[in-house]
Amino acid sequence: MPSYTPPLRDMQFVLHEVLKVTDDYKAIPRHADTDTDTINAVLEEAGKFASEVTFPLNIAGDTIGCTLNKETHEVTTPPGFKDAYARFVEGGWGAVSCDPEFGGQGLPFTVNQCLYEMLNSANQAWTMYPGLTHGAYEALHAHGTPEQKKTFLPKLTSGEWTGTMCLTEPQCGTDLGLLRTRAEPQGDGSYKLTGNKIFISAGEHDMVDNIIHLVLARLPDSPQGSKGISLFIVPKFMVNADGKLGKRNGIYCGGLEHKMGIHGNATAQIVLDGAVGTLVGEPNKGLQAMFVMMNAARIGVGTQSLGLTEVAYQNALAYAKDRIQMRSLSGVKAKDKPADPIIVHPDVRKMLLTAKAYAEGGRALSLFCALLIDRELFHEDAKVRADSAEMVALLTPIVKAFLTDNGHTATNACMQVFGGHGYIKEWGMEQYVRDNRINMIYEGTNTVQSLDLLGRKILGNNGATLKKFGKLVGQLVEEEGVNEKMAEFINPIAYLGDQMTKFTTELGFKGFQNPDEVGAAAVDYLRVLGHLVFGYFWARMAQVALREIEAGNKDPFYQGKLQTARFYFARLFPETATLMRTARSGAASLLDTDAALS
């Protein structure tokens, strides 16, 4: 059976020693009183909830899954899920970073990000229920009318009701311009929606009294394509003027998807049969409103893979220390045993360190983005808010795609550490591989994220935002460039930072002549930039660790951080050279292949 220990020490290291978040909070009135002790206390309790309440349900939830009563269209979640969710609501965990006006605790988003990393390590399928609810809260908080906010936000904040996002249809996934769900105005400000949605995570379940669906649909006179999409609130049960639940709405689950993983989450086929809804925002501008939820979900999906990478690493490390197989090539290490623990073998350490480096690098990036969101939403300086929003937009596709790709690499490596036992269900490792696999697909496949990054976020503004990130790298290089002890971390990012300008310009010029060149290079480009971002944060973490060691701090945590940084730059960061070469190879080897693919 697997185990999980919340990585509180590393979270505290990133928050307080690397990012120094409380310094930022002092310039944000809403968070000015949030101090280190408060953050640590909340995270400790969050870790207890994740490890003691939801983690024990993970394997059983995967084995039993959700069941649909086809006559009533009701879904039953795995045993324990409903009780755990009730404890989640009772503990106020859904309200951590929500607006106090609607019953939220008003804590920084960085704290919420740590909570959700731990929840995803413990049980990704369960965590998707409150995770999607938080996204629905964000969308309505940004675009709902005062009446909609009053009706729905307090219940979404508390978690008493859950939320979904209903986008995908059988004939369209990423290309939402093809959706067919119709919304007919009723003359009283309401609409009746008819259509079918698929792949709706947490679309139907038994954990709450009401589910608030955010549905994309077309008005009768809407333009074709994505410019003709509107957003609607469609509750499972109608809500009366007094806030009490009314009649059952015409939206129900027609089937559950049979999936590779996340079996504990109800991935529903949703039927809308004259379901009553209300418009969110302006007609035909639903995508703008839904993008609030979609972008939150993309960062959330990256956090899902971060959580799985961490828990897979923890279990692989424990197994490698205990499992004995063969002797070390350099001589016997465990003289009192018939064989050595497999952790002595170089390639086992490579697999373990790969997972560790990707988990800790991902945590630094994830929390940096959370801090940017805190600045974007609540900083007093308008320029800081705008700059933070711009940087989050650049980094969001990297969080989604780079962290989930790395999660795929890491969970597979950790399963490999177990050998044949990793392939057996009882150890839990194969579930982490299966659960992570969806993260590379939903909320926009990683290819879509790559196209968004290179085509829109970088070439779309001639690299202006990329240059701003480059300035962060440049500042660190200037600060530590003459420090010989930092050279192994600074030199690689300085070199790649210089290369990125030429590399990006070259791809932009080729793309201007032939847009397919952008499509051919985008996936490799995202991984290159992902490594530059990770390299920047690993250099910052090494900087802190070196300063502590030089100051006489004997805590082995800092030596471990330094050793992991050295591994990352020696073994993972060099992937960028190959990726740049393949990105530059052009579209012809992919598209001039009709005979090969005939």
Cβ neighbours of 53 (radius 10 Å): 21
421 φ, ψ (degrees, to nearest 5): -65, -25
Give every CB contact of residue 447 below 8 A, 6+ residues apart in sequence: 522, 523
d(CA 131, CA 596): 43
Joined tokens for residue 591: 């598209």
Contact 204, 248 (CB under 8 A): no
Judge whether 390 counts as a catalytic residue. no
> Helices 556-567 and 516-550, interaxial angle, to 10°?
150
Q: Is 201 helix (H, G, I), strand (E, B) or coil?
A: strand
Joined tokens for residue 100: 């106090």
Give every CB contact of residue 127 below 8 A, 6+ residues apart in sequence: 54, 116, 119, 120, 304, 307
Joined tokens for residue 137: 């809260």
| String of DSSP letters for 295-311 | HHHHHHHHHHHHHHHHH
Torsion sign, CA atoms 486, 492, 496, 498: positive
Set 430, 443, 480, 517: catalytic member: 443
Contact 305, 403 (CB under 8 A): yes
What residue has token string 């409103």? 289
d(CA 46, CA 89): 13
Give the Cα-Cα-Cα angle 230, 96, 356 (nearest 5 degrees): 95
Of the candidates 162, 113, 127, 167, the residue with the CA atom closest to the CA atom of residue 290: 167
**Which residues are annotated as catalytic?**
443
